[in-house]
Amino acid sequence: MGGTQTIKTDVVIVGAGPAGLGLAIELGLRGVDCVVVERNERVGYAPRAKTTNVRTREHFRRWGIAGALRAASPLGVSYPSNVVFVTRLAGHELARFENAFYCAPGRNPLYSEHAQWIPQYSVEEVMRRRAESLPTVRILFRHELKGFEQDGQGVRAQAADLASGQPLSLHGAYLVGADGARSTVREMLGIAMQGTYGLSANTNIIFRAPGLAQAHRHGPAIMYWQVNGESPSLVGPMDSGDKWFFMGTGVARGQQFDPAGVAQQIAAATGIAMPYEILSSDEWTASKLIGERYTDRRVFLAGDACHLHPPFGGYGMNMGVADSVDLGWKLAATLQGWGGPGLLASYEAERRPVHERVMDEAVANHALLGNQLWRDGLEADDEAGRALRAQVGALIQANKLREFVTLGVVLGYRYDGSPIVVGDGTAPPADDYLNYVPSARPGSLAPHAWLHDGSSLYDHFGPGFTLLATAGADEGDIERALSEARQAGVPLTVARPREAVLGDLYRARLALVRPDQHVAWRGDTWTPGVLGTATGWRTAAARA
């Protein structure tokens, strides 16, 4: 075995899940050199997520791979994203939610991309191909992080090739731990996770069952919640080839895995006797945990490495991608010299409140599962049973809507109080999990609109900052903003769509939109210095 190989890069990323791959793409598209270290030999190990929400799909559009993800959908993008509550697949229907998570294709004025029900391993494969297509991105599979040191100049990480044992030294300006719930980076930093561990123990099973989709009368859906006294559980189609998932608590933690016993459990839960071929099973624990901090000088945490919550609502993978988007453009700006010292410091300040809100939503959804919905007599084929099912169905409709119709959370999160956002003194809208009301109030996601040429407004935003000029904007103001950007070396694109609706949406003649499509400032005349605040060189001060 030879000596230690040394690789010099800008950013070392540990973990090739959605957060790590998203960061690699974000950096690679900005010409930043990065190396991803992943201990497995490929992407997609035991992922459970299946919901790629509208905001994540909008990032995929910006990255040029929304079409590739659409093409990778094993069930087809037109497959109905219904969620159906039943006593069991062979039993009675209790309630249903149609177009859950907004997966239906078609143009919606509120967003540029619909959501998609697709296994996480398929999502990761699309992301991997995009990352590896970028000349400044390198992914090292079967490599494990062994340690790192940092100083004022950079980070030196030690890794090893798990196949050959060859040691590897990685020298970068920054290191990001996107290595999941059991984060090695977090452990090496000594960062504790705070909150509640062990809200529930769960088992995720993947199985093959040809003909199961035709063996019940509830129609196509992405999830069937089974509410019965024997095995309250979730079951639904996972992939082509009659692959399904089953989530329940039937295999006790630490118990030896018995495929025959699991197959019997699934048959009992569904009420459908047929061959069930068990493909995999893994145990997991639902918890509500958040890192006591996300940063240690030149090392950052993203995704599950710094926040964990129950999966109900489909937020987890999507939040990891959003972390990478926020951190990615800030790292690139800092490395390229136009980002100031306050830019990276704003990462945790912006993302932590979002995480806390989403974690509360996920825990609220977790509070009402199949075992809490069960009532003795729910499956009875008599008048009392019908009345009980109507009662439970009403309870489901009243309490589970916030799990499947969540645009207010997915698009309505804001970076209130961020040090790199210039407030305008307007009051924030009320938090609403259901209803999303677009707002150009600084810190909010830039309101979306379809333009008359068929393009999305977002398609006209540049890779750096964008100055959106609506009707009535003064050309002198635009030139002053461009001049300020040139002097500071800040990439600034000017977008001048003529659609009158934009004035109503943005309520200002000018809006400064960040690389992540959030509004940094708005006003009717250009204010010198706002670009310095938005890029971390000045301290924000809200106007009264």
Q: Closest by alpha carbon to 235, among 193, 269, 264, 186?
A: 269
Q: Which CATH class is domain 414-534?
A: alpha beta
**Confidence band, pLDDT 50/70/90 cuts, at residue 383:** very high
Q: What angle do CA 456, 493, 528 make, to 5 degrees?
A: 125
Compare 311 and 124 and report the one with higher pLDDT.
124
DSSP per residue over 220-255, as a string?
--SEEEE--SS--EEEEEEETTTEEEEEES-S-TTP
Q: Closest by alpha carbon to 240, among 76, 50, 49, 43?
A: 76
Q: pLDDT (tens digit, 9 = 90+) per residue, 169-224?
A: 999 999 999 999 999 999 999 999 999 988 887 888 999 999 999 999 999 999 99
Residue 258 predicted with pLDDT over 80: no
336, 35 Cβ separation under 8 angstroms: no
Note the pTM of the prediction, 2 decimals.
0.95
- Coil/strand/helix, residue 178: coil
Distance CA 370, CA 152 (A): 52
Residue 250 predicted with pLDDT over 60: no
Specify the residue for token string 């159906």: 84
All residues at 6 or more sequence positions from 260 whose CB lies less than 8 Å from its CB, including other chains: none
DSSP per residue over 28-61, as a string?
HTTT--EEEEESSSSS-SS----EE-HHHHHHHH
Compare 544 and 259 and report the one with higher pLDDT.
259
Give the other-Cβ count within 10 Å of 452's Cβ.
Answer: 8
- The three state secondary structure string of 71-100 is HCCCCCCCCCCCEEEECCCCCCEEEEECCH
All residues at 6 or more sequence positions from 18 whose CB lies less than 8 Å from its CB, including other chains: 49, 120, 123, 124, 127, 303, 317, 320, 321, 324
Q: Closest by alpha carbon to 368, among 390, 387, 392?
A: 392
**Confidence band, pLDDT 50/70/90 cuts, at residue 1:** low
**Confidence band, pLDDT 50/70/90 cuts, at residue 257:** low
The pLDDT, as a whole number, for residue 230 is: 87
Residue 44 predicted with pLDDT over 80: no
The Cα-based distances of 385 to 218, 379, 393, 395 in angstroms read: 19, 6, 12, 15
Specify the residue for token string 């997520």: 49
The pLDDT, as a whole number, for residue 256 is: 58
Specify the residue for token string 């071929």: 277
Mean pLDDT of 470-485: 97
Mean pLDDT of 102-117: 96
Distance CA 515, CA 110 (A): 19
% of the chain residues with pLDDT over 70: 97
Distance CA 392, CA 227 (A): 10
The Cα-based distances of 328 to 13, 31, 313 in angstroms read: 11, 11, 25
Residue 293 predicted with pLDDT over 50: yes
Q: pLDDT (tens digit, 9 = 90+) per residue, 430-446?
A: 889 999 999 999 999 99
**Confidence band, pLDDT 50/70/90 cuts, at residue 136:** very high
